[in-house]
Amino acid sequence: MTLGSMSAAAMRDLVEAGEAKPLLTGFDVSPTLYAGQWWYVPSGSDDAADDDADYVLAGPDMSAQLDRLRVRTDRIDAVAGGSA
């Protein structure tokens, strides 16, 4: 792991431990909130389709967009009783 990047394995461990929360539950690769910051796998990277591609920190604009999406997904989960 380098500054601003994290391995997929490390992120999976954080999610399993309940320390990180993916935006889309049930997906192996999803933007993930950890320690108050959004992490994601860049779609333009050579191995973005690889489940083991590294996560990188989202910038301010992307983080704001992901925050708005999080509000929506939380509402959907609440309506669906958390089964979405």
Instruction: Provide CB contacts within 8 A for 28, sequence distance 6+.
Output: 51
Determine, yes or no, domain membership for 84: no
Kindly report whether the global pTM for this prediction surpasses the value 0.75.
yes
| Domain count for the chain | 1
- At 8-33, the pLDDT tens digits run 999 999 999 999 999 988 887 889 99
Instruction: Name residue, tokens 């992490």.
Output: 39
Give the DSSP H or E segment for 81: none
Rounded-to-integer distance, Cα 28 and Cα 11, Å: 10
Its domain, for residue 34, covers 5-79
From edge to edge, which strands make up the β-sheet containing 37-40?
5-6, 55-57, 37-40, 32-34, 20-22
Determine, yes or no, domain membership for 14: yes
